[in-house]
Structure 1
Amino acid sequence: MSDSAKSATVSSSAGTGLAITDPTGFTKIGAQLPTLASILAQSVQTLALPLSDSQQRTLLLYLDQLLLWNKAYNLTAITDPVEALIKHVIDCLAIIAHLPAGSLLDIGTGAGLPAVIIAICQPERHCTALDSNKKKIRFIKQVSSELGLSNMTPIAARIEAHDGQYDVVTSRAFASLIDFVDAAQPRLASGGRLCAMKGKAPTAEELQELLPQWQIDTIKLNVPRLDDSRHLIELSYKNV
């Protein structure tokens, strides 16, 4: 295990946050670590997530790797650490409490959003990160190894070529909710749920097309420090 991964597993038993802000293992965001750690800790508290110091530190180590390898792997257009923390990490944290239990497939995962964030926060859940971009999957393999994420399986493939059944299928990448449902439904296990991260709530046209076969729950998300609209759309198949 790398030094950064070892550091990620060390939790501050006293809850002082010292383990989070130890700069060991950080390459890109070390100078801003106290600020970033404070923003993350406040957001975790606001979202009422039971994340340890170790898990919060691992989230920051992921952010560090995301920004460090961004140019090599073309991972994100956001280069400011605070903005990336809010718009990528905290944005994904906002769905954690709403996810059903079980195995998870993240379609079009890109840099591992939300798959890597979920894997860090819920080590008991197995997460599969799927993307057709081989460079981005190589990044996820690298960062998963660095962070010791034994519950993460990155796969370079299109969804049409992927086999397997999952209890939860997520995506942050699809512009169209209907396109996501069409692509994800074959991979959904019986009784499972599709969970789409969206900015706006579904349109009337989308609901009209999907409601005959799907039970749809629209959850308005409050993402700390983000004013933009965010929703999680959960769909379960009616089997009718």
Structure 2
Amino acid sequence: MTDRNTLQAQLEQGIDALGLQLPADAVPRLLDYQALLTRWNGTYNLTAIRDPAEMVSRHLLDSLAILPFVQGNSLADLGTGPGLPGIPLAIAAPGRQILLVDSNGKKVRFLREAIRSLKLEGVRAVQSRVEEVDGQYDCVTARAFASLADMLGWGGHLLAPQGIWLAMKGKSPDDELSGVPDGFTVNGIHALDVPGLGAAERHLVVLQRS
């Protein structure tokens, strides 16, 4: 089992490599979240990743890599699972209203416990299918959730008129671009260099209303 000091060093090095400036309490709070996820994962199987060091790179740093693209006062994280990227983003850049959406009851129970125990202000979790969620958000995130066509088809109504949609992908989803529904435009596709992931590819597709 990797000790907390080692995980802290790994996380801090990764944050530096990403060029991010985070609040003073962000690193311990991110590690508290990772520890809570590890604890619950033993019973509820919330993520296939078991190794804490791997969680730092594949969950925490992977989520934080999109922080420079996040904008606005409100964010909806669709298909959030155990809170990715929504909870790391809430810790790293507090102050916006964040809605975590997942249809899995076990995961939403974990999310509510994480919000309570980590004292995440302005963050709430809802158990729902994406297409049944109401409201409009300045920023919408979705991590390995569905094809671009499906995620926009199900959740496009949640994006505010001047909002930005951040779709987190592995390989560049060139074959999905033709399926982007009318009314949405691909603003850019960015290759992300996530510390600790080695050769694993990460791309961020940025979309807006057209």
User: In which range does the TM-score fall when normalised by the shorter chain?
Assistant: over 0.9
Matched to 2:85, the amino acid is P
Counterpart of 2:83 in 1: which secondary structure? coil
Q: 1:234 aligned to 2:206? A: yes
- Residue aligning to 2:135: 164
Q: How many residues align?
A: 208
Distance 1:93 1:127 in 2: 15
Unaligned runs of 5+ in 1: 1-28
Provide the C-alpha distance between the structure 2 equivalents of 1:209 and 1:129, rounded to a whole number of angstroms.
25
Equivalent positions of 1:198-209 (< 5 A) are 198-203=169-174, 205-209=175-179
Following TM superposition, by how much is the alpha carbon of 1:222 offset from its aligned partner in structure 2, in angstroms?
0.7
Residue 208 of structure 1 and its aligned partner are, at CA, apart by 2.6
Q: Is contact 2:131–2:155 with CA below 8 Å preserved after alignment?
A: no
Q: CA deviation at 1:136?
A: 0.7
| Larger Rg, first or second structure (1 or 2) | 1
SS in 2 for 1:78: coil
Alpha-carbon offset, residue 212 of structure 1: 5.7
C-alpha displacement of 1:234:
0.8
1:176 maps to what in 2? 147
Is the 1:105–1:130 Cα contact (8 Å) retained in structure 2? yes
- Residues in 1 aligned to 2:61 and 2:36: alpha-carbon distance in whole angstroms: 16
Unaligned runs of 5+ in 2: none
Give the partner amino acid of 2:185: Q
1:102 aligns with 2:83: no
Distance (whole Å) between structure 2 residues aligned to residue 186 and residue 47 of structure 1: 32
Higher relative contact order (CA 8 A, sep 6+): 2
Of 139, 155, 160, which aligns to 1:189? 160
In structure 1, the residue matched to 2:37 is 66
- Aligned residue runs from structure 1 range 113-132, under 5 A: 113-132=84-103
When residues 207 and 54 of structure 1 are mapped into structure 2, their CA distance, relative to the original with a 3 A threshold, is: same
Partner residue of 2:20 out of 49, 54, 77: 49
TM-superposed CA distance for 1:80, in Å, is 0.8
Equivalent position to 2:10, from 7, 16, 39: 39
Q: Which has the higher strand share?
A: 2
Poorly superposed stretches of 4+, deviation over 3 Å:
none
1:84 to 26, 31, 55: 55
Conserved in 1, the CA contact under 8 Å of 2:148 and 2:177? Answer: no
Contact 1:184 1:194 in 2 (8 A): no
Between the aligned partners of 1:143 and 1:155, the Cα distance in structure 2 is: 13
Following superposition, the deviation at residue 100 of structure 1 comes to 2.2
TM-score, normalised relative to structure 1: 0.82
User: Residue 69 of structure 1 aligns to a residue in which SS?
Assistant: helix
